[in-house]
Structure 1
């Protein structure tokens, strides 16, 4: 038990002013506006009465917020909704007409961009380009690609902002890349320079947490998302955890870094510098290395055979009966299940969602992954 007095007080975490968002008289109204927009996004059509009920406020107060959002062109009235009795309510919707956003998916090797409406429907084809390893070059290249996308698709409307899913640890403000081992970045200030180049608001999020957030958003209406995990296997391994309907972040916004969970102290050296990380066994590069028959070496130039290959090629070869490809995928599947077992033991989620190129081989890999999970998990 902690002793009271000065010794006990020393154990109390200190909160610094730079970590606080200062409230003003306008703060509650701004928060309520965000909640209304989120409810409209989740329900896609909702009456003023139901909106007031979900907000827990008087209909007149909810009506004033809605009127402001209609005046700003963010909300529109639609056709009357169904009702069992009385007057049919006018349904409210997000107004995407003449507005769009740009979604950016940054990966170690390639970056993908697409324009969407305000509820996430794609308005353009997805474009991609090779990810630049140097931060300033990356920001310049991404800004150029976004400007080109918007110029080529003027019918998408005025862009309200850019959302960036990034493969690394970000600070709580989403401004600084604290660490991105696969890209060799550390403490890189990215959001503000990118916003300045684009002339648009930019929101950044860890890629796996962004996918977990998307799972929360995909729950329609009052349906709770439950406790779940999203695991992405691509150039790296990312995990987003949802507990009680919220993305788990941790003190330093680093919760969910299971990709760097050590599976063996004698394993291959990961891009982060540690030995035997889960990522070093199941990432795309790990699978390709097994297939080609070379050691896993994330920061060395790729041998010509690997530079020309992809995980899709390994999967295609395995389906054709190539023994090396089958062995590579079987090994990846077993290690993948071993890591999933740790997630099950740590969080006991209702379900786990898997994304990434490896899912193309899921029909053949599922049984192997499941066997590893059941062998390693105390509850499954």
Structure 2
């Protein structure tokens, strides 16, 4: 996050903030729930819980949703987080697309949009369009009729290294961007709104952990295989960032020292072997030796290849498509095996564009990992597809804002 929240001392306001966070988290995990049950669950006395709940209701974060009778005594009034407490805007600028969504406080999508950016190499044009779409998302999210007027936060995922203290994109090799003050571009357009800028894989991993396929897991490895390969670790619900904040650049592990040149300047980086471009390269090389139905499907236009098209050919039994997917799956498995040995997660999630081919890739990945990783770490780790697919980073942006509100509800104005 580009804005640093003020340091807090151990005074009454800090205790109140901790207790508000405790209440908000229990409501998120267990609602609908009564005040009495919250008091029992948190260990706070009933008067403190009632006071905190009244404050949260006044600020619109919590609402009463009816009575529950247990058959003995007075019915208890049930509480839940208010879906209309406000809205969150989340965006992603990828190598060849812009995606934006708006969600309410229940993480329900109100509106979303995705468009290609082919040929728009100019950074200013892309950022201007992204900001315009974020503004449209905010307009769609604001609905006074249901009381949803507050923009609770804005998050943007980018395919590169983001300095967390300033929100500056230091390097995005596949975009060709360097030293872009992203937060400085966003804050004048969205004044008084908390703004978060992060690596897209970090956000995707957080989104899957918070809302998606990784719920209930503690140590999560997320691999996003698209134009580049991004990666992230979530441990105990928090993104693992490393000393300087740039942990997770798994795509730039050297797998083949004599391999293709990577956008980062190195040779044989993992992402040069496990991207859609690598998949299409295998197909073109094989098509020189044998026929493939992909030639008929594309009219011989190699630029018309897409991952879903390759999956369609593989599903129909095309040997060239099947072998190309198998080769990429093996290369994915080689890298994931090394990461399993190093990080020992209990879940590996495959995301990004290549996850559209998960039915063909995951069995190969699992087999390769079983051959190469230590059997003790293999036994502990499930390897699955992410729930949110191409929307994972967007949902992660929602999670990033949501997580901050749950942790520090008193700092968010409505």
Farther-moved stretch of structure 1 (117-126 vs 169-178): 169-178
**Number of positions where the alignment pairs a residue of Structure 1 with one of Structure 2:** 352
Match of 2:81 in 1: 94
Contact 1:116 1:122 in 2 (8 A): yes
Corresponding position of 2:394: none
Q: Which residue of 2 aligns with 1:11?
A: none
Q: Does 1:143 align with 2:131?
A: yes
Per-residue deviation, 1:21: 5.0
Gaps of at least 5 residues in structure 2 are 287-299, 379-414
Q: What do the CA deviations read for 1:89-115 (whole angstroms, capped 9, x no partner)?
A: 322222222732222133211111122
The answer on 1:209 being equivalent to 2:199 is no
Match of 1:278 in 2: 270
Is 2:67 the partner of 1:75? no
SS in 2 for 1:160: strand
CA contact (8 A) 2:307 2:357 kept: no
Distance in 2, matches of 1:275 and 1:84, equals 70
Alignment partner of 1:118 is 2:110: no
Separation (CA, whole Å) in 1 of partners of 2:233 and 2:46: 35
Q: How does 1:284-323 map to 2 (within 5 A)?
A: 284-293=276-285, 305-323=301-319
Residues 291 and 261 (structure 1), Cα distance of their counterparts in 2 relative to 1, 3 Å cut: same
By how many angstroms is 1:375 displaced?
A: 1.4
Contact 2:34/2:76 (CA < 8 Å) preserved in 1?
yes
In structure 2, how many angstroms separate the alpha carbons of the residues matched to 1:129 and 1:117?
25
Q: Structure 1 residue 356: deviation in Å?
A: 2.4
Q: CA deviation at 1:336?
A: 0.6
CA distance in 1, matches of 2:219, 2:94: 26
The partner residue of 1:372 within 368, 375, 384 is 368
Q: 1:27 to 1:349 in 2, by over 3 A?
A: same
Q: Give the secondary structure class of the aligned counterpart of 2:310.
A: helix
In structure 2, distance between residues paired with 1:84 and 1:209? 48
Contact 1:231-1:237 at 8 Å conserved across structures? yes
Tell me which of the two structures has the higher relative contact order, counting C-alpha pairs closer than 8 angstroms and 6 or more residues apart.
2
The answer on whether the counterparts of 2:226 and 2:354 sit within 8 Å (CA) in structure 1 is yes
Alpha-carbon distance change, 354 to 43 in structure 1, aligned in 2, over 3 angstroms: farther
Q: What TM-score does the superposition give when structure 2 sets the normalisation length?
A: 0.75
Q: In 2, are the aligned partners of 1:224 and 1:245 still within 8 Å (CA)?
A: no
Q: Residue 166 of structure 1 contacts residue 206 of structure 1 at CA under 8 Å; is this kept in 2?
A: yes
SS at match of 2:66: strand
Q: Secondary structure at the match of 2:273?
A: helix
Q: Is the 8 A contact 1:42 1:217 kept in 2?
A: no
Q: Which residue of 2 aligns with 1:66?
A: 53
Counterparts in 2 of 1:88 and 1:292: CA distance versus 1, 3 Å: farther
Match status 1:23 vs 2:8: yes
Classify the secondary structure of the residue corresponding to 1:231: strand
Post-superposition offset of 1:339 = 1.0
Between the aligned partners of 2:95 and 2:305, the Cα distance in structure 1 is 16
CA distance in 2 between partners of 1:275 and 1:136 (Å): 30
Q: Distance in 2 between matches of 1:254 and 1:194?
A: 22
Of 159, 164, 175 in structure 1, the residue corresponding to residue 156 of structure 2 is 164
**Counterpart pick for 1:337 among 320, 325, 333:** 333
Q: Deviations over 1:115-134 (max 9, x none)?
A: 21112111124333427544
Change (3 A) 1:75 1:291: same
| Structure 1 contact 236–279 (Cα < 8 Å) conserved | yes
2:37 is the counterpart of 1:37: no
* Residue deviations 1:13-53 (CA, integer Å, cap 9, x gap): xxxxx999522554554454445434433334333344345
Deviation for aligned residue 1:341: 0.4
1:128 to 94, 115, 118: 115
SS in 2 for 1:271: coil
Change in CA separation of 1:165 and 1:293 when aligned onto 2, cut-off 3 Å: same
Aligned to 1:104: 91
3-state secondary structure, aligned to 1:113: strand
Tell me if structure 2 keeps the 8 A contact 1:162–1:203.
yes
Give 1:82 shift. Answer: 6.1
Alpha-carbon distance in 1 for matches of 2:41, 2:198: 27
Give the conservation status (yes or no) of the 8 Å contact 1:80–1:90: yes
Q: Distance in 2 between matches of 1:56 and 1:362?
A: 45
2:141 and 2:176 mapped to 1: Cα distance?
34
**Runs of at least 5 residues in structure 1 that lack an aligned partner in the other structure:** 1-17, 295-303
> Is the partner of 1:197 in helix, strand or coil?
coil
Tell me the TM-score normalised to structure 1 length: 0.81
